[in-house]
Structure 1
Amino acid sequence: MGRKRGGNEESKLCWHCHGRGHDQKDCKVLLSGASRHCFICNSTEHLSSDCPEKVHSSPPPWVQEVRVAAPPRPTPTEAPSCSPRLSVVITTSPVPSHPSTMMIEAVIASFQRVKGLAECPLIIVCDGFKVVKKTTWKAGKVTEEKAANYEEFKCNLKKLQDAGQLPAGSKLIILQGHNGQAMAVKAALQEVDTPLVCIHQHDLEFTVDFCLEKVLDVLEDEATPVKYVGLPLLVNLHYEAIAFQHHGVKVKVEEYQGLSFMPIIFWYDSTHITSVKHYMSLVFGMEQTYSAGNFVEETFGVRQRNDIMANGMGDGVHAKYGTYHCISMSSDGLRRPLICHLNGVRFLTPQQREALGYPPDPPVEFYPSRTMTNRKQRKVRHILDIVLELADVDMEFSAAVRNILAHMLNDTRLRNSKPTTSCLPKKHSYK
């Protein structure tokens, strides 16, 4: 009773005046006759994409603190392999492995696998939380104990930054309250000093080199339709099948500057590279509205997909978004994922597993997205069925025998495989 149609009014956010309790449709700035608004200088005379100044506006009110590490040391004898065109933004929030920084350190260490990535400016955004009696990780709702662990995690991040264990010049943004991925990205973009940005999550590793400099060249080439380059996971490696089977849209690989790209009809929050201008004018454009806790892919991404499903790929519909996946091939000619998922809501350090009474750290086979490029490699059920058929096992007992064999196979993997944490990237010193 008393709640207005459209959900909780207090959860609404306005990207124009940074106010809560209303969105762009009810913004007094817009209703007063100002039809244009710049996110960079707050001018109402032009959009952020046309801003003549590269000057940041003051941080939005949900930003509690911005910490900047010491600037990078000059290297006169050797220039960085990656031009200062790209910054990396890592969004983080409470997970079970906190207060440990092991997972995010492993993620940052994996930058070494991509030539030039480790030299890019780094921004880490720590979202806030809501204290509740039962934890729901994705919603940012945690118990008092988990909240205390997360606060300690943020302190540990600051210690890493002060000790030079994070890249020189890195920025740490602390948000107050639970804001969600969309607002975390919006806050980070105001601290980005490069034209291009890589949005990355705290539990995703880079797996192999993918010619980063060439990808940036393609993004900056206005002759190509590519405005967003996503890095595929194992689950969306063959996106053309997903687009056709689930959404009835046909897409095929396109070639630009010697690289292969797959058009996609969805704005994934998973690792992607695009321009700050594209983000601010499109994702955070005047017609886009968000509420506290929103993810970009669950709001803007859904709107994009619905737009393309209703109007098709042509007539400039997909070109407005310019979303593509970067296709990379392994030596055997098969596509390979460029990032892998550590699964933050399940990741625990060996010490945490031992303290909870869990078995030793599970082997890499329990994290198939880290080690395999073909999902069929993970499935042993059909193999066991064939074995039982050749053994002429009665159908009545087949399932029971298969379960026994599967359990034995699992125990064998536990005994003979390397632990997951031992396969994480080695730490890299940024001093």
Structure 2
Amino acid sequence: MSNWTKLSVRGTDGDSADDSLLLVSNPSFTIPDGLTMVADFISQSEESKLLEAIDDQNYSWEGFEQRRKVQRFSFDDKASTPSEIFHLLKNKIKEKSGWQATHLAIEEYNVDKVAFSGEFSSNYKVTTFESPAPGDPSCFVAQIPLRKGAVQHLNKPKERQVACWNLESPNHCSDVYIPRGSLLLKSSECLIEWRSRMAASRDTEDCVTVLKFYSLSTEALDSSNHANNNVNGSGMDSFGYVPSPDDNVPSPDEAMPPLQDLLTIIVTTSPIRSNPSTEVLERAMETFVFGGTDFAYKCRKVIVCDGVRKKEDEAPTKSYSNVKQALRNGIVSNEQDENYTIFKQRLRQLCQEAPLNSPFHNTHVEELSERQGYGFALRHALRHCVSTPYVCVIQHDRTFMRPTPICETMEAMWRNRFIKYVGMSMRSNLFYRDIFLAKYGRIYHEEFKRLIVRVPELLVKKECYGPDSASTREMNLLSELLRENILALAKSYQTSAQGTIEQDWCRQNPVQEGMHQLSLTPTLFWYDNVHICETKHYRDFVFKPSYKMVAKGGFVEDKLSPVLLRTVERLGLTDGHSRFGCYILDDHSGMFFTGHLDGGSYMTDEVRKKIKEKSGPRS
């Protein structure tokens, strides 16, 4: 077990004889008012009876960043009241503390793999206020771990804000160990001003069962902890998107400006093994016409060429043992650096000589002097090369596979300012509703379905998009095997959650003859695949320096997606997701819009020929 320090909790009259002991990880911990511990509150015999009374079949999964199994009961509701032994324990808690519990949660917690450390630890692990706001003296929480001990992390931010990472002081942060069968009581300041998180103690590889008796205001009684923070004064008012009068929503009769006045296309590129050839980029950009002629030829394009890191030694290292891995991290040999330089020269020439009907027309090449990685290369382009309110971000080996409603998506975002990001579907997220169900269960599914967006701007002609439409008939099928896979995928789509949810909606909400409704599925993952995003949202939120949501050298999705999950854990699914406003476009044909050439492994015909010559004839 970890090293714990015993601290005494004084009674309100200051009589040390009434002290109880807390086991804490921080020897200088400032114990909050309203926090106390009663050791050995239940006997082993009582524990055995309680465990026998728990029906393991009634658990539901809850949470996003911290997944846990939970059973919830109300002592005032006969339909959901727990068995008699829990009523007896409720009365025992009242005799000891004076508090009357109205609800019970039986929760199973695993060990937190990452230990809390330092003032900013709560930025990486979700801790929540259990009481929604000051003012109700009857609010309290009583927790009893069974089978094993549990650990309660507590920290007090400088302000009552779930997103305030600065603590009152280093002494206002500690783990508190709750021995098996002991009672931890929280009320007043501890419940209102302090954030908490429960986990199994690190001396066990198993989970711990925690009985949580509580009485909280009606606003806090939701199916999970994160809803307790969805209140005024939570400190998240400036984090991400919050609707305001400054949104400048256009009037219904106002026409959308030309696409080229709204949208800049940012293409990111970096060294790949096919350099100095521009073939990968050419193959990717020639598919831009699937987004429409205005998108392909009129919208301004910025190609950001990331910098490189030179190898000091040509020998492979343990971290970068192969060419693809090294190039992915911007590490090049002298020969690769020379090839990349020639590639950039050819690219500039390609853009300068491009005719009006070429996707390379109206394209600016931006070279970075140092290696930044995808995320920071994108940040550079947003800060220095973009003047339009929206951007379409495309990596150099990402392609459109079929006609894609870029203009319609752009108008949906322009008229509905809460839509901040729209990803074009790819193979791995085409069934995102099924992914959500598998990860987070049905407890959130009804709320998730309410977040699906269907706006008039995405009501299109049936002949253009949807099953058996012009778009699906023009699908870029590069091989017979790919064709078979795509058709099999489209067939399985019809019986998936992604497909059946939409079929149910269409039956209840029929659209006019000859029309087809596209939808935007909310996502809790920020995909770096082809997407349109509001420029301001990227610049001022995603890349806000103080939030540190994107790391130099990394991808945006790597750090931003966990932040999205933590925000949903703190604020709830609806409010947490709205701060990011990210969705995936689906025309419900069962076919994805974008594909991947895999630039890291891509070989031109010339390279293949050289490899074949080097290997010699087969015997």
From 101, 119, 134, the equivalent of 2:278 is 101
Structure 1, unpaired ranges of 5+: 7-24, 26-48, 53-79, 361-431
Contact 1:203–1:341 (CA under 8 A) maintained in structure 2: yes
- Which runs of structure 2 are paired with 1:142-291 in the superposition (5 Å)? 142-164=332-354, 167-189=360-382, 190-222=384-416, 225-248=418-441, 250=445, 251-252=448-449, 253-257=452-456, 258=459, 259-289=518-548, 290-291=550-551
What is the Cα-based RMSD across aligned positions, in Å? 3.1
Determine which structure has greater relative contact order: mean sequence separation of CA pairs < 8 Å that are 6+ residues apart, divided by chain length. 1
The aligned residue for residue 587 of structure 2 is 328
- Which runs of structure 2 are paired with 1:111-130 in the superposition (5 Å)? 111-115=288-292, 116-118=294-296, 119-130=298-309
Please state if 1:350 is matched with 2:527. no
- How many angstroms apart in 1 are the aligned matches of 2:260 and 2:307? 33
- How many angstroms apart in 2 are the aligned matches of 1:324 and 1:168? 30
SS at match of 1:254: coil
Deviation at 1:308, TM superposition (A): 2.0
The one-letter amino acid of 1:295's match is F
- How many angstroms apart in 2 are the aligned matches of 1:147 and 1:359? 23
- How many angstroms apart in 2 are the aligned matches of 1:358 and 1:262? 49
Deviation at 1:358, TM superposition (A): 7.8
The aligned residue for residue 513 of structure 2 is none
- Which runs of structure 2 are paired with 1:291-330 in the superposition (5 Å)? 291-314=551-574, 316-329=575-588
Higher mean displacement: 188-197 or 158-167:
158-167
Structure number with bigger Rg: 2
Higher mean displacement: 254-263 or 335-344:
254-263
Per-residue displacement from partner, 1:7-57 (whole Å, max 9, x unpaired)?
xxxxxxxxxxxxxxxxxx9xxxxxxxxxxxxxxxxxxxxxxx99x9xxxxx
Per-residue displacement from partner, 1:221-279 (whole Å, max 9, x unpaired)?
23x63211001111111011222323556434431122311100111111110111111
Deviation at 1:211, TM superposition (A): 2.0
Contact 2:273–2:336 (CA under 8 A) maintained in structure 1: yes
- How many angstroms apart in 2 are the aligned matches of 1:353 and 1:287? 47
- How many angstroms apart in 2 are the aligned matches of 1:227 and 1:291? 21
* TM-score, with structure 2 as normaliser: 0.43
Per-residue displacement from partner, 1:268-322 (whole Å, max 9, x unpaired)?
11111011111112101243224430211111222112322454312x2111100
Give 1 or 2: higher strand fraction: 2
The one-letter amino acid of 2:561's match is G
SS at match of 2:524: coil
SS at match of 2:261: coil
Q: How many residues align?
A: 285
Contact 1:90–1:123 (CA under 8 A) maintained in structure 2: yes
Per-residue displacement from partner, 1:196-242 (whole Å, max 9, x unpaired)?
100110001112222222111111123x6321100111111101122
- How many angstroms apart in 2 are the aligned matches of 1:202 and 1:89? 10
The percentage of aligned residue pairs carrying the same residue is 28
* TM-score, with structure 1 as normaliser: 0.61
The one-letter amino acid of 2:277's match is S
Per-residue displacement from partner, 1:165-204 (whole Å, max 9, x unpaired)?
6533311100012111111111111211211100110001
Contact 2:299–2:362 (CA under 8 A) maintained in structure 1: no
The one-letter amino acid of 1:152's match is I
SS at match of 1:229: strand
- How many angstroms apart in 1 are the aligned matches of 2:260 and 2:336? 40
Contact 1:247–1:309 (CA under 8 A) maintained in structure 2: no
- How many angstroms apart in 1 are the aligned matches of 2:613 and 2:273? 14
Per-residue displacement from partner, 1:365-424 (whole Å, max 9, x unpaired)?
xxxxxxxxxxxxxxxxxxxxxxxxxxxxxxxxxxxxxxxxxxxxxxxxxxxxxxxxxxxx
Contact 1:127–1:180 (CA under 8 A) maintained in structure 2: yes
Contact 2:350–2:360 (CA under 8 A) maintained in structure 1: no
The one-letter amino acid of 2:438's match is Q
Contact 2:290–2:400 (CA under 8 A) maintained in structure 1: yes
Structure 2, unpaired ranges of 5+: 1-116, 119-164, 166-240, 247-256, 317-322, 460-517
SS at match of 2:454: strand
Alignment CA distance shift 1:324-1:163 (3 Å): same
- How many angstroms apart in 2 are the aligned matches of 1:157 and 1:83? 22
Deviation at 1:151, TM superposition (A): 1.2
- How many angstroms apart in 2 are the aligned matches of 1:205 and 1:327? 17
